[in-house]
Structures are given as C-alpha cells and as structure tokens.
Amino acid sequence: MFQFTALVTLLSILFYFFTSMQVSKARVAFGIKAPTVSGNPDFERVFRVQMNTLEWMPIFLPSLWLFAFYISDALAAALGLVWIIGRVLYLTGYSQAAAKRGLGFGIQAAAAILLWLGALGAIIWRLIHA
C-alpha cells in the first residue's frame, strides 16, 4: 500500500484547488472578468501561480507514484512534501513580486527532478537486473 504517497497526492490536489480559489478571489478584487487573464500585474501573478502549478503537476504526479512504486512510499511522500513546500514558497514569493518566485521554483523543481530521476534509475536497474 502507498498511503503516504496517496496522502501527498491529495495534498497536492488541495494546493492546486487553493490556487484556483485564489484566482477567483483575485478576479473579483482586481475586476478581471473571465476569460481575460491580463490587465493587472497583481492578478497576473496570482494567475501564473495557478497555471505554473498546473504545468508542473503532470511532471510531479507520475514521478511521485513511480518513485513510490519502485523505491519507497515514505521517501516519495517526503520528496512530495518538499515539492508542496516549494509550491507554497513559490506562491508567497510570486504573490509579492515576480522576482521573489525563484527559491520556491527551485525547491519544487529539484524535488520533481529527484523523483523523476529516482524512478528512472530504479526502472533501468530492474530492467538490467531482471
């Protein structure tokens, strides 16, 4: 069973849902009517946090699950939590100013890359040693 990875998956979806709600709030606060996604830099930063999270989820989620399956549920979940922490830092930094998004982006990217590389390495190892 992969309880820890499942929990982190649900937390990542909850975070994405939260970013969606932030966009809805920002639309009202800044008077940006759908489908417009530009016109106010403060709104655009909130919108980009949501979109960037969405862009990374297809990289993160399969890598998370493959890592859990081939290596370790607990370690995958720990790296998944690091990814979520990176996303939260990205959100808080980018919400203040575009220049403040780098640390969070770097942390989440590193976590996703470690998950992907770990899964790839474990799969190749099993193919070679099967």
CATH top-level class of 3-128: mainly alpha
Q: Give the pLDDT of the chain (130 residues) as one tens digit per residue.
A: 999 999 999 999 999 999 999 999 999 999 999 999 999 999 999 999 999 999 999 999 999 999 999 999 999 999 999 999 999 999 999 999 999 999 999 999 999 999 999 999 999 999 999 8
Give the C-alpha separation, 20 to 3, whole Å: 26
Q: What is the pTM of this model?
A: 0.96
pLDDT in tens, 74-107: 999 999 999 999 999 999 999 999 999 999 999 9
| Closest CA relative to residue 119, chosen from 68, 61, 77, 59 | 68
